[in-house]
Every structure is written in C-alpha cells, then in structure tokens.
Amino acid sequence: MTIADVRELAVSLGIAATVAVVLRSYFRAFEFNWPEHYFGPDQGLELFVTRSLPRYAVFRLLPVVLALLVAGALASRLELARTFTILVSAGLYAAVSIGPDLARSLFGKPRKWRIVGMNIVLVAGVAAAAVIIALAGSGADSLVPPAREFVFAIWISVFVFIASKVALVLSSRPRVRDLVAEAEGETDKALMERLDEADPGGLFRAVAVAEHLNRPKWMRMAERLLRPRDGTYGLMQMKSAKPISDTESVLLFIDEFADHVPQEDEYWDEKRTGRVTRKHNRSEEFQKLVYEIMQEPGYPYTGGL
C-alpha cells in the first residue's frame, strides 16, 4: 500500500466519521431539546413523531439518506473509494447511534422487544439506503450540488442563523402583560368567561393563556388534522383518543380540576397552583409562565398569589 493509498483511506475514514458524528449529534439534539422526552421510541410513544412506527422510521432515515448522498458525492469528487466511503459511513453511524439503543433494549431487563424490533428496522433501513446509494453511482452524486454551491449555501445558512440569534438577543423580550393581552384578544371570550365562572381565582384563565401562547389557534387546527387519534387537543391541550374542539377541551379541563379550586376563604397559593400546573403540564417552562401570568401586576385574577 502506497502513501497515496493510505492518504485516500484516511480521508475516506474521516468523511465516514464526520457523517456518523454529525448524524449522532443531530438526533441527540432532538432528544435533549424537545420537552417531555419528545424523541425516541422508548421515550415518548404517545407523542406525534413516535406514534406511528413508519413515520418514526422516515424521520430517522431521511437525514441518514441525505448524509450518505453527500458522503458519496464528496468521495467521488475527491477521487476516493466511493462505495467504501458510503458503506463505512453507514456502518459507523449505525454502530454509534443505533447500536447502543439496540444493545440496551436486547440485553436489558426486562427485554423491550418493541424497541428491539424498531432498532432492527432502522439498521436494515440504513444498510438498504447505503447499498442503493452505492449502486446508484453518478446518478446519486448528481443530486448533490457542486462543492462551491454547497459551501455557499452552508455559509448563507450560517449567516442567517447567526443574524437571527443576534436579532433575538438584541430585541427586548415581550412583557408578560403584552403576551396576556394578545392571547386574551385571540381566544374565545365565552370560553374565558366559562373558565372564570369555574375558577374566580384566575388560574384556569392563566393556564388557557399559557396554552394559547404555546399552541395558537392555527397550530391547534393543524394538530387536529395531523394527529387523528391519541393526542392533546384544543385550547387547554387535553388528552383525548380523538381530536376535540377548544370548547370540549375547556369542559374536560374544568371537570378534571374543579376539585382543586380554592374555597371562599382560600386562594391560589404557590403550592396549590403547582399541584394543578404540574398535573396538567410537566414542563417547568410552562409552569413558570403560568406563575408569571398570575404574578403580573394588574392581572385581574391574581387570587392572592
């Protein structure tokens, strides 16, 4: 083996390792950044992206296919061993990303056969994608833009990302009272009045405001279309086997938490408020937002907080 061969092998392995690390980091970012274990068949089967195994498989495999396409095209343009680069990239990714999950579900106690099956499907999908892209040859490489255009697109993306972050930092955070006014102006007044009747102390209204800020009306409509069953729906984001309306969600919320409403000589203190918000939504950010709404000076439903 010549020095040139060793150099080509090192570059191919470097591309493969980069593909594996980037994909691993990408999926781990989803796992850690989404609230309430949104990512992974073992950590959120009740949620949208993992409710359907085919949909979850596509979510896991599409970035892999794109990464293998780029790896193959880069190897070809650098006159490296294209097939070797693609197969090693796929193998390294499967080993560092899917392998540990498969081992834990297979050898752990109790064995999680559903997760074992899901990871086997993912491994098979990665292997099939690698073989198909390797066999496609230059046809697959043509799908990847030339290096100059590709790098230019990356720089544009990086610039837009940095600019957006700078603008976000420099812009002032909206005041809670402004967010409350906006949310209350966009929600059905009759529903808010019904919440006030059920809870004169105002926590129910604050929860509705917080939910609306997180799930505006257009997003709730999309949820009803995209989640045909077993999701959280409506203004109050209540769990249901089928999509429900804002009104139905309000009625379900009132029915579930009516017993927590303070009596005439009581009020929504921090402990009582926390019991309701934690049971309704475990997200600490959501609970903090509800508490800030209740604390906002001038909010007409402070209830003694």
202 & 267 share domain: yes
15 & 116 share domain: yes
> What whole-number distance in Å separates Cα of residue 50 and Cα of residue 123?
17
126 & 188 share domain: no
Confidence of residue 47 (pLDDT cuts 50, 70, 90): very low
Q: Which residues contact 4 (CB under 8 A, 6 or more apart)?
A: none
Confidence of residue 305 (pLDDT cuts 50, 70, 90): very low
Instruction: Check residue 240 and report its DSSP letter.
Output: E
Q: Do the domain assignments include residue 164? A: no
196 & 263 share domain: yes
Task: List, for residues 177-223, the tens digit of each pLDDT value.
Answer: 777 787 878 888 898 889 888 888 888 888 998 888 888 888 888 88
> What whole-number distance in Å separates Cα of residue 27 and Cα of residue 97?
9
Task: List, for residues 128-175, the tens digit of each pLDDT value.
Answer: 999 999 999 888 888 887 767 767 677 777 777 677 666 655 554 556
> What whole-number distance in Å separates Cα of residue 287 and Cα of residue 273?
9
Q: Do the domain assignments include residue 158? A: no
Which residue bears the tokens 């359907």?
52
Q: Do the domain assignments include residue 169? A: no
Q: Which two tokens stand for residue 294?
A: 């209740």
Amino acid 52: pLDDT: 55
250 and 195 in contact (C-beta within 8 Å)?
A: yes
Domain boundary among 146, 165, 192: 146
Q: Minimal CA–CA distance to 67: which of 168, 144, 173? A: 144
CA distance readout (Å), 229 to 53, 92, 193, 225, 239: 15, 37, 29, 10, 10
180 & 271 share domain: yes
pTM of the predicted protein model:
0.46
Q: Do the domain assignments include residue 46? A: yes
Domain boundary among 101, 125, 146: 146
Residue 43 has pLDDT above 60, yes or no: no
242 and 228 in contact (C-beta within 8 Å)?
A: yes
Alpha helix ranges (H) inside 171-240: 176-186, 189-198, 203-214, 217-226
> What whole-number distance in Å separates Cα of residue 8 and Cα of residue 28?
30
> What whole-number distance in Å separates Cα of residue 206 and Cα of residue 253?
13
Half-sphere exposure of 204 (CA within 13 A, CB side): 25
Domain count, the chain: 2
8 & 141 share domain: yes
Q: Which two tokens stand for residue 125?
A: 């999908």
Q: Which amino acid is at 66?
A: L
Range of lowest pLDDT (10-14, 84-88, 113-117, 248-252) = 113-117
> What whole-number distance in Å separates Cα of residue 168 and Cα of residue 163?
9
230 and 244 in contact (C-beta within 8 Å)?
A: no
| Residue 240, strand partner residues | 231
Amino acid 297: pLDDT: 62
199 & 111 share domain: no
Domain boundary among 146, 167, 184: 146
Q: Do the domain assignments include residue 156? A: no
102 & 186 share domain: no
Amino acid 182: pLDDT: 79
239: domain range?
A: 176-295
Q: Which residues contact 128 (CB under 8 A, 6 or more apart)?
A: none
> What whole-number distance in Å separates Cα of residue 119 and Cα of residue 1?
38
142 & 89 share domain: yes
> What whole-number distance in Å separates Cα of residue 87 and Cα of residue 83?
6
Q: Do the domain assignments include residue 166? A: no
Residue 15 has pLDDT above 80, yes or no: yes
> What whole-number distance in Å separates Cα of residue 181 and Cα of residue 175?
10
259 and 172 in contact (C-beta within 8 Å)?
A: no
> What whole-number distance in Å separates Cα of residue 126 and Cα of residue 22?
15
Q: Do the domain assignments include residue 245? A: yes
Q: Do the domain assignments include residue 87? A: yes
